[in-house]
């Protein structure tokens, strides 16, 4: 709605001796809606326009008459749409990762300040890969179990599956920390123990888990730092 019509609605309400609350009560809407109309932040729908014209004793033409051209009205509408789409919504999950929705785009901001943009195409590809991995895991499990009678070992594949599923995402995002290393180590340890009775001393494999994430975290921070430096140099 343009400011001219908004001002007219304000003037007509005052001439009618109605407060925003009283007008809202007559129309069955909230006072905030009336306030938005009079600030040109929103437009009344057709039913409300008809009711306003009857309450103020004017025609719809008188209520909505404007000196603006069609192009000016269209451009104003585009600006309103642009402003609405550029609204930023920020949410934070339990892990401290912030989800930012801005202009119809979704991005994830990590604790270290690095930002990952949500790529719909990439998400679809990863989902297809996950389905393929699930199908292959199920097939191999059935073959090992039914054909080779390896029931006691084949279920380890299900422990390994999350690690295998995380590989494509780790490669695409170039983040080794995305690889589910604990599942990989657990599956390896169970396989060595059940197949070759190597329970000891291979328990030490679990000690490598914190070191893996410490190292990958250091590498990723260095990568982000170098990337920021390069972008700063380009801007300068």
Does the pTM surpass 0.75? The reply is no
pLDDT of 226 above 80: no
Region 89-103: what's the mean pLDDT? Answer: 55
Which tokens hold the place of 78? 């585009």
What is the CATH code for 3-84? Answer: 1.10.260.40
- Segment 68-77 mean pLDDT: 52
CA separation for the pair 144, 149 (Å, rounded): 6
Q: Identify the pLDDT of residue 86.
A: 46
Burial of 164 (0-12, 13-18, 19+ CB in 10 A): buried
Length of the chain equals 236
Mean pLDDT (the chain) is 77
The domain ranges of the chain are: 3-84, 86-115, 119-235
Buried b (16+ CB within 10 A) or exposed e, 49-59: bebbbeebeee
Q: For 162-214, what is each residue's pLDDT tens digit? A: 999 999 888 887 888 889 999 999 999 998 988 888 888 888 999 999 999 99
pLDDT given at position 118: 59
What phi and psi, each to the nearest 5 degrees, are found at residue 108?
-115, 125
């Amino acid at each position: 709605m343009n400011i001219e019509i908004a001002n007219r609605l304000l003037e007509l309400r005052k001439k009618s001796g109605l407060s925003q609350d009283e007008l809202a009560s007559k129309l069955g809407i909230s006072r905030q809606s009336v306030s938005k109309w009079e600030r040109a932040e929103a437009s009344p729908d057709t039913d409300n326009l008809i009711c306003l014209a009857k309450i103020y004793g004017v025609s719809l033409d008188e209520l909505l008459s404007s000196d603006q051209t069609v192009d000016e009205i269209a451009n104003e509408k585009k600006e309103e749409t642009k402003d609405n789409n550029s609204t930023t919504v920020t949410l934070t999950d339990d892990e401290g990762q912030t989800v930012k929705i801005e202009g119809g785009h979704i991005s994830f901001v990590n604790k270290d300040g690095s930002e990952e943009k949500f790529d719909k195409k990439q998400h679809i590809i990863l989902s297809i890969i996950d389905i393929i991995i699930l199908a292959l895991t199920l097939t191999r499990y059935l073959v090992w179990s039914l054909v080779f009678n390896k029931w006691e070992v084949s279920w380890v594949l299900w422990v390994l599956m999350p690690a295998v599923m995380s590989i494509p995402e780790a490669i695409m995002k170039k983040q080794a920390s995305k690889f589910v290393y604990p599942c990989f180590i657990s599956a390896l340890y169970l396989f060595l123990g059940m197949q070759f009775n190597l329970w000891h001393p291979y328990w030490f494999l679990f000690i490598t888990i914190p070191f893996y994430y410490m190292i990958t975290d250091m590498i990723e921070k260095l990568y982000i730092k170098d990337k920021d430096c390069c972008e700063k140099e380009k801007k300068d």
